[in-house]
């Protein structure tokens, strides 16, 4: 009799525990359903600004030491970490929706950024998860947020590119390295011309002709690549003005370089008459000024307008 009573009590407790477990599971399922339905009604995008704001806060705490807008020479030519729109629009850093193919996340994940030699500690596991989630949802921008860098500007996320526009974008990315050719060649042509004036050695004159001719070709190519690159560089504020000046100084340099090579060849064919030689040297000097100013403005788009620190 006692054994039967005990068995019944045990079964009642087990039934009560099952009822409690079922109730808990049902409550969790209901809560999950409410969350999912809420996201369906208001849209997942309503959660994005909050996530982007968290990323902005993380970058502000951990990354501005090396990549902030006030750094004179930011590491990796990357001084706009707080401008999330511009960061997201940089295909070299962010592959929206795919953090494992995003260099920025890989460096954060592997504790390569922040710089271990700097004073900023690495991101915590929770912060890394936030950055990863931000990239997974498309790297959105905080609502109402703008760049804190008045000189670096900002960019809008790029739209889906057609095949033709993708080719233009990829070709335009060769603009920065191509700028070194006209700058170096035009500048080298001037001391070579001075050496010819001092020695009258024809080999120096050949150096001048070669440098000026190659500088003209490379200047035209560089200017063309610059126009391709600028299509996908949607700067705002001061940076938009810098881009405009850089674009037209670069184009003017290309036209001027062509004029310089025409004078150089005319000078060679006519036996270096003194009046034409003076015109050529003046044109070469102006070309050096133009290409230097264009180069300075181009660097200002990366480092900021006052990137020279004496």
| Domain extent listing, the chain | 2-42, 46-149, 164-303
Each residue's pLDDT tens digit, 227-280: 998 887 766 667 778 888 999 999 999 999 999 999 999 988 888 888 899 999
Q: Where are the beta strands (DSSP E) in the chain?
A: none
Structure tokens at 14: 């087990």
Neighbours of 36 (CB within 10 A): 10
Give the CATH number of domain 164-303; options: 2.30.29, 1.20.120, 1.10.357, 1.10.3470.
1.20.120
Neighbours of 42 (CB within 10 A): 10
CA-CA distance, 253 to 292, in Å (whole number)?
9
* C-beta of residue 71 within 8 angstroms of C-beta of residue 79: yes
DSSP class of residue 171 equals H
Q: Does 35 score more than 60 pLDDT?
A: no
- Mean of the per-residue pLDDT values for the chain? 78
Which residue, among 83, 76, 97, 79, has the nearest Cα to 55 in the 3D structure? Answer: 83
Structure tokens at 17: 């525990």
Mean pLDDT confidence for 211-239: 86
* C-beta of residue 105 within 8 angstroms of C-beta of residue 132: yes
Q: What are phi and psi of 257, to 5 degrees?
A: -65, -35
CA-CA distance, 190 to 180, in Å (whole number)?
16
pLDDT of residue 162: 80
* C-beta of residue 305 within 8 angstroms of C-beta of residue 151: yes
Where is average pLDDT lowest: 1-10, 57-66, 268-277, 286-295?
Answer: 1-10
Which residue, among 155, 157, 152, 135, has the nearest Cα to 80 in the 3D structure? Answer: 152
CA-CA distance, 38 to 177, in Å (whole number)?
50
* C-beta of residue 195 within 8 angstroms of C-beta of residue 201: yes
* C-beta of residue 96 within 8 angstroms of C-beta of residue 139: yes
Which residue, among 257, 243, 255, has the nearest Cα to 297 in the 3D structure? Answer: 243
Which residue, among 105, 104, 88, has the nearest Cα to 140 in the 3D structure? Answer: 88
Where is average pLDDT lowest: 17-21, 41-45, 110-114?
Answer: 41-45
The model's pTM is: 0.53
Which residue, among 240, 256, 242, has the nearest Cα to 291 in the 3D structure? Answer: 256
Question: How many residues belong to the chain?
Answer: 310
* C-beta of residue 33 within 8 angstroms of C-beta of residue 46: no
* C-beta of residue 181 within 8 angstroms of C-beta of residue 250: no
Which residue, among 145, 175, 186, has the nearest Cα to 54 in the 3D structure? Answer: 145
pLDDT of residue 263: 93
């Amino acid at each position: 009799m006692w054994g039967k009573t005990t068995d019944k009590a045990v079964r009642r407790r087990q039934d009560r525990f099952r009822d409690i477990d079922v109730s808990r599971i049902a409550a969790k399922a209901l809560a999950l359903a409410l969350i999912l339905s809420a996201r369906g009604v208001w849209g997942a995008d309503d959660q994005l600004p909050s996530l982007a704001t968290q990323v902005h806060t993380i970058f502000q705490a951990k990354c501005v030491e090396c990549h902030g807008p006030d750094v004179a020479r930011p590491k990796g030519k990357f001084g706009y970490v707080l401008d999330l729109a511009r960061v997201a629009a940089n295909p070299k850093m962010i592959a929206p929706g795919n953090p494992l193919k995003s260099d920025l996340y890989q460096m954060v994940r592997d504790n390569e950024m922040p710089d271990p030699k700097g004073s900023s500690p690495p991101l915590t596991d929770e912060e890394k998860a936030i950055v990863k989630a931000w990239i997974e949802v498309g790297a959105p921008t905080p609502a109402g947020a703008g760049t804190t860098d008045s000189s670096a500007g900002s960019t809008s996320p790029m739209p889906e590119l057609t095949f033709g526009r993708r080719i233009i974008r990829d070709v335009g990315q060769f603009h920065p390295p191509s700028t070194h050719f006209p700058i170096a060649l035009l500048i080298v042509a001037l001391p070579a011309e001075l050496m010819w004036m001092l020695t009258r050695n024809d080999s120096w004159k050949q150096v001048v002709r070669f440098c000026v001719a190659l500088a003209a070709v490379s200047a035209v190519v560089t200017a063309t690549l610059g126009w391709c690159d600028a299509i996908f560089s949607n700067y705002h504020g001061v940076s938009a003005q810098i881009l405009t000046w850089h674009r037209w100084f670069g184009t003017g340099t290309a036209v001027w370089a062509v004029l310089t090579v025409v004078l150089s060849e005319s000078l060679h064919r006519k036996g270096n008459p003194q009046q034409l030689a003076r015109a050529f040297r003046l044109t070469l000097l102006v070309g050096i000024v133009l290409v230097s100013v264009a180069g300075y403005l181009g660097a200002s788009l990366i480092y900021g307008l006052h990137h020279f620190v004496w």
